[in-house]
Structure formats: structure tokens, C-alpha cells
């Protein structure tokens, strides 16, 4: 690769000085409190920090989305490449910076990628005769040509993420800001995108700012990692691949993830009866002739590339999609063909946390969301007992101070914790988790996993988890399946299995 341009201006790409911001006019809680941050031009900068510390809010303020579209900026200044953000309209700002949200569904205005890309180009006044060629070129670069005319709602979470990135790069901004860009993308897809981003950075001087809990994809290429604390305060910066070992204790102290942090405590587990059995299952051209056994009272993980059918499998189990073959479930009366179990009865025994948790919220604030779950699933509990239990759970999940917030005002990581907490109130036999650690720092991830493991061990809960986080799957799962060639292939995940399988049966 060519060396990047070392003569780039010393003016920061993003500069925030003494910024204080809150969401509510008369609210007492400032999300950003006297926050200052400077991001250099032409570099790859990664911002890490605990869930809810203000990373996403800071990004939206830097991009000019706040307070233009909500909230109160009570002090401070924000500049993009030396220009005050508040003095520029959205089209002018997009020449300097474009941003990808945590939830790609919130990014789209149109119903197909082609229309969305055209809409982006219209907003920066690209001549109509040039639009189609630009759309085809950038869709091709992102391997999204076949998705151009598909309805966006039919795409998987990972495919939507790549579609959002294609739109981002299409704008040709001097800098891109990505909020949890790989949360729903498989490892190979994430690595491919990082390679492309690095190429643009090296050859074109593209400034890259990534907010990410996972450093796996960035540590070897980032010029700097910045750790942010509560209120948007910078706790540590200047971290890179060369000095990272010296900062591990700091990451431990802050409860943040770094490569190799997950440690599996291997145990000699007894064989368990099956909770779910799939035999020769096919669905919608995704899985074809797939078979698997999900043991009772265990955590089972499913790995696989974006769009391979993990989420669709969950919807199939809940009766939302058709399938051929056999799916049997044991909800206390022996293995029974799923198609003969009414949908309402399935929900009595099987809960789910969606890939996008905001799709399942039903109340106006965080406290109500958990309280209503307990009332619905445990109606015999008295109100005082219920209140005490809700407060205890909110505190343990780090959500106590947000009890009066709307669920939609939370960060993606906080929304995920709230959805898991509400789902656990159902005390069902099987819990389906779709990307449960998306947007979570290490401490929050392990809090969720410890809660689940306790319910698995003490109450016999069966957990089926779809995830791209291979390290987490190895650390917490008794059984791992991986989608390969439209089949479910069991991956060994314990020393006992490895010993039985021998050298040829080692983990893929």
C-alpha cells in the first residue's frame, strides 16, 4: 500500500471543547458533561468505553445531529475540520463527515438500497445522470450488487449493516464515523470491510473514527484507541498495538473487552436430554437438510455468516416461518412436533430477545417495561414484591438511574440489557437470544451471561444463542453449531469432546 499523506492539515477532523449536553430541557442528567475531544485528520481512531458512557451521543453531537434534532447543548463548541458544526447545513456537513448509526434500520429512508443510495446522492446534489453508475460502483465495492433492488426489510442485520456502509462511502466524505459497525456482521465480513477501510485511509487519507467495544478487528490497524468514561470524559488515549499490553490492567479495571479476555472454565458436563431436535430441516433457501440437537439446561450457540439463516431459524421456531423436515420440542410432555404446538403455547414456553431489541418494547419507560413483564408472567406476585424485584434487577443490570427513561432513549447496549431482563421475567423453558452482546462492554456482557448461567444451572433454562462473537461462544456455551454450506455443523467446545474426538476432530 502507498504511504498516507503526511502533509495533511494539523487542524483536527473533529474537535469538541467543554461540551455539556442533555436530552431533556428540564432534565438533571447530562449525558455529556464538560466533554472535550480532538480527533486528528487522516488517522484511524477507535473509541471504546462502557455501555451508556455517552459514546453514541458524542458521535451524534459531533455529526451535528444534536441539538439540531433534539436535546439541549448547554455549553461548548463543536468543529469539523475547523468549521463550526452549527453554521453548516446537513449537505455541507456531509462533505466533512458521514455517520453510520448503531441500528441501521434508523438510517434508511427508502425501501431498497438503490433508492437509498440515490436519495443520498440527491442530498449532496449529484447530477441524476451520474447516480446509477455511482450506485453500481459502490455497491460492487461492498459486494452488495445483488441487494440493490431487494427490499431492505428482507435483509439480515449484517446485510443491512453493509448496505448502510455502502451509502456511507458513497457520499465521499473526508471522514467517516461508525457506531458499532460490526455488531451484526460475521468475522470474515468485518475483516473484509476493515481491509477496505484501511486501503482508503492509506491511499486517500480517509479519516476513520470507529466506536466499538470489540478491538479484535481494529487493534492491528488503529493509529490510536481512546477510552471514554462517564459523561464523555477521556480516561486514556494514545493506546495502540505497540503499547497495548501495558494497558491491559486498565481495561480490566474499566470492565472493557480486549482480545483474549474471555476465559472458558471447562467442566465435565453430563449428557442432557434434548430440548429441541432438528432433523433434515429446510427453510426459505437458507438452511437445507439441517440437523441439530439442543440440550436441556445448557447454553447452545449458533455461529455463521450474516444472512445464513440464524434469525430466520428463531422465527421458524416461534411459528413465524414455514419449514420442511422435522422440528421437535420438549416442553414438559416429551418431544413433540413443533407444527402441532399452537403458536400461543410456544410463547408460553419459549421467549426471545430480538436482534433489534427496540422492536419488542411495549411501555413508556424502563421501569414499566420490566414491571409489565413480571405482571404478565407472574400475576400472583404482590405489587410490593414486584417493585422490590424490579428495582433489584434494574440495579444489577446497570439500568437503575434510567428507570424513568423511555426505552428508545437508551443506547443499543442498554436496550439489549433491558430486553434480556424483561424476557427473563417470563421464566420460560427456552430463551432465544439473537446477538445478545451487540453494543455491550465486557462487564455488561459477563453480567448478562452470569445471570443466564445461574438460571441455566439452578432453574434448568435452555438458551439458544445466535452470535458472531466466536470467543464468547467458546467461553460460555456447552455446544456450538456453525452454519456451513446450509447445514448445521457441530463444533467441539470442551476438552472432554476434544479428547473423545481425537486429533482429527479438533475445533474448526
The pLDDT, as a whole number, for residue 239 is: 96
Query: What's the rounded Cα separation, in Å, for the pair 135 and 141?
Result: 10
The pLDDT, as a whole number, for residue 307 is: 83
- In percent, how much of the chain has pLDDT > 70? 94
> Shortest CA distance to 35 belongs to which of 196, 290, 195, 234?
234
Q: Are 221 and 193 in contact (CB under 8 A)?
A: no
Helix (H) or strand (E) holding 21: strand 14-22
203 is catalytic: no
Q: Could you read off the pLDDT of 141-200 as tens digits, one per residue?
A: 888 999 999 999 888 777 888 898 889 888 889 999 999 888 777 888 788 888 888 988
In the predicted model, is pLDDT for residue 274 greater than 70? yes
Length of the chain, in residues: 508
When pLDDT is cut at 50, 70 and 90, the band that residue 505 belongs to is very low
> What is the rounded average pLDDT of the residues 473-477?
91
Handedness of CA 22, 414, 357, 44 (dihedral sign): positive
Q: Are 466 and 302 in contact (CB under 8 A)?
A: yes
Q: Break the chain into its structural domains and give their ranges.
A: 16-107+176-254, 274-505
The pLDDT, as a whole number, for residue 357 is: 81
The pLDDT, as a whole number, for residue 367 is: 94
What's the pTM?
0.76
Query: What's the rounded Cα separation, in Å, for the pair 508 and 502?
Result: 13
Q: Are 329 and 322 in contact (CB under 8 A)?
A: no
When pLDDT is cut at 50, 70 and 90, the band that residue 300 belongs to is very high
The pLDDT, as a whole number, for residue 503 is: 40
When pLDDT is cut at 50, 70 and 90, the band that residue 6 belongs to is very low
In whole numbers, what is the pLDDT of the chain averaged over residues? 87
When pLDDT is cut at 50, 70 and 90, the band that residue 490 belongs to is very high
Strands (E), 27-171: 32-39, 44-49, 72-80, 83-84, 97-100
Which 3 state secondary structure label does DSSP give 371? helix
The pLDDT, as a whole number, for residue 294 is: 96
> What is the rounded average pLDDT of the residues 67-79?
93
The pLDDT, as a whole number, for residue 435 is: 85
The pLDDT, as a whole number, for residue 264 is: 65
In the predicted model, is pLDDT for residue 109 greater than 60? yes
- In percent, how much of the chain has pLDDT > 90? 51
Bridge pairing between strands 14-22 and 72-80: antiparallel
In the predicted model, is pLDDT for residue 1 greater than 60? no
Query: What's the rounded Cα separation, in Å, for the pair 173 and 437?
Result: 30
The pLDDT, as a whole number, for residue 3 is: 43
Query: Is there a shared CATH topology between the 16-107+176-254 domain and the 274-505 domain?
Result: yes
When pLDDT is cut at 50, 70 and 90, the band that residue 267 belongs to is low
When pLDDT is cut at 50, 70 and 90, the band that residue 213 belongs to is confident
DSSP code for 2? P
> Of the residues 33, 116, 159, 180, which is catalytic?
180
Determine the topology of domain 274-505 in CATH. Rossmann fold (3.40.50)
The pLDDT, as a whole number, for residue 189 is: 79
> Shortest CA distance to 427 belongs to which of 466, 391, 455, 393?
455
Bridge pairing between strands 44-49 and 97-100: unpaired
Residue 239 CB-half CA count within 13 A: 23
The pLDDT, as a whole number, for residue 277 is: 97
Q: Is 3.40.50.300 the CATH number for 16-107+176-254?
A: yes
Amino acid at each position: 500500500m502507498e504511504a498516507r499523506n503526511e502533509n495533511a492539515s494539523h487542524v483536527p477532523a473533529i474537535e469538541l471543547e467543554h461540551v455539556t449536553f442533555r436530552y431533556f430541557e428540564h432534565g438533571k442528567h447530562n449525558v455529556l458533561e464538560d466533554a472535550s475531544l480532538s480527533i486528528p485528520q487522516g488517522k484511524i481512531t477507535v473509541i471504546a468505553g462502557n455501555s451508556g458512557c455517552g459514546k453514541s451521543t458524542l458521535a451524534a453531537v459531533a455529526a451535528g445531529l444534536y441539538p439540531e434534532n433534539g436535546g439541549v447543548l448547554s455549553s461548548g463548541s463543536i468543529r469539523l475540520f475547523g468549521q463550526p458544526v452549527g453554521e453548516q447545513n446537513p449537505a455541507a456537513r456531509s462533505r466533512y463527515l458521514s455517520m453510520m448509526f448503531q441500528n441501521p434500520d434508523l438510517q434508511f429512508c427508502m425501501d431498497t438500497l438503490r433508492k437509498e443510495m440515490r436519495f443520498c446522492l440527491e442530498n449532496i446534489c449529484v447530477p441524476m445522470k451520474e447516480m446509477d453508475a455511482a450506485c453500481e460502483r459502490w455497491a460492487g465495492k461492498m459486494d452488495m450488487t445483488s441487494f440493490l433492488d431487494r427490499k431492505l426489510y428482507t435483509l439480515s442485520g449484517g446485510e443491512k449493516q453493509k448496505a448502510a456502509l455502502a451509502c456511507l462511502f458513497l457520499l465521499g466524505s473526508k471522514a467517516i464515523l461508525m457506531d458499532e459497525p460490526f455488531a451484526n456482521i460475521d468475522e470474515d465480513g468485518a475483516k473484509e470491510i476493515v481491509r477496505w477501510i484501511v486501503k482508503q485511509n492509506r491511499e486517500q487519507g480517509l479519516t476513520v473514527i470507529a466506536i466499538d467495544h470489540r478491538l479484535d478487528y481494529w487493534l492491528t490497524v488503529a493509529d490510536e484507541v481512546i477510552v471514554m468514561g462517564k459523561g464523555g470524559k477521556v480516561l486514556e488515549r494514545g493506546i495502540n498495538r505497540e503499547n497495548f499490553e501495558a494497558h491491559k490492567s486498565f481495561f480490566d479495571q474499566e470492565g472493557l473487552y480486549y482480545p483474549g479476555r474471555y476465559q472458558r472454565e471447562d467442566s465435565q458436563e453430563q449428557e442432557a436430554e434434548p430440548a429441541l431436535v432438528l432433523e433434515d430441516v429446510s427453510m426459505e433457501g437458507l438452511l437445507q437438510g439441517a440437523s441439530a440437537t439442543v440440550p436441556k439446561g445448557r447454553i447452545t450457540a449458533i455461529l455463521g455468516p450474516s444472512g445464513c439463516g440464524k434469525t430466520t431459524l428463531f422465527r421458524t421456531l416461534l411459528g413465524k416461518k414455514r419449514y420442511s423436515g422435522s422440528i421437535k420440542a420438549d416442553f414438559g410432555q416429551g418431544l413433540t412436533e413443533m407444527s402441532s404446538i399452537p403458536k400461543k403455547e410456544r410463547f408460553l414456553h419459549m421467549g426471545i430477545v430480538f436482534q433489534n431489541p427496540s422492536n419488542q418494547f411495549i411501555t413508556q419507560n424502563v421501569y414499566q417495561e420490566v414491571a409489565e413483564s413480571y405482571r404478565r408472567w407472574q400475576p400472583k406476585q404482590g405489587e410490593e414484591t414486584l417493585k422490590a424485584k424490579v428495582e433489584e434487577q434494574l440495579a444489577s443490570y446497570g439500568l437503575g438511574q434510567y428507570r424513568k427513561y423511555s426505552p428508545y432513549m437508551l443506547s443499543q447496549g442498554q436496550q439489549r440489557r433491558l430486553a434480556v431482563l424483561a424476557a427473563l421475567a417470563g421464566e420460560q423453558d427456552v430463551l432465544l437470544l439473537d446477538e445478545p452482546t451487540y453494543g455491550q462492554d465486557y462487564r455488561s456482557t459477563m453480567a448478562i451471561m452470569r445471570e443466564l448461567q445461574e438460571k441455566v444451572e439452578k432453574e434448568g433454562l435452555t438458551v439458544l444463542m445466535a452470535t458472531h462473537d466466536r470467543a464468547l461462544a467458546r467461553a460460555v456455551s456447552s455446544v456450538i453449531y456453525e452454519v456451513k454450506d446450509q447445514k448445521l455443523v457441530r463444533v467441539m467446545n470442551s476438552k472432554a469432546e476434544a479428547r473423545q474426538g481425537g486429533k482429527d476432530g479438533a475445533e474448526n
